[in-house]
Amino acid sequence: MKAKLIFREKNLLEGGYIVELVLWELPNKTKDRPHEYKYRLYFGDSDGNCLVRYDNESGKGDHKHIGEKEISYEFVDRDKLIKDFYRDVIRNHKKRNKL
């Protein structure tokens, strides 16, 4: 059985910002994905800069990127993942617009 796409959404926001969320359900747990999900949540600007990204690529496990920093992320469930991602997006957007 292949990974099953659960959710895919891409939105262009005011100011040229891009938000894309992609979530798959995997047929089996792995060391890097013990919760059986593969995901990529992205927030970037119109110049192609990644501002916030949550993902769990093979070999790295669950982590997030805030600007240039890569930080370990503790996956609890899908709802918390999305909530945490949007919290970081809002925080990053507010910080950028204060400049």
pLDDT in tens, 15-59: 899 999 999 999 988 888 889 999 999 999 999 999 999 999 888
Answer whether 8's CB lies under 8 Å from 41's CB.
no
The encoded tokens of residue 91 equal 């925080």
How many structural domains is the chain composed of? 1
**Residue 61 CB burial class (10 angstroms; 0-12, 13-18, ≥19):** middle
Q: Whole domain around residue 83: which residue ranges?
A: 4-98
Residue type, 79: D
Q: What pTM, to 2 d.p., does this model score?
A: 0.91
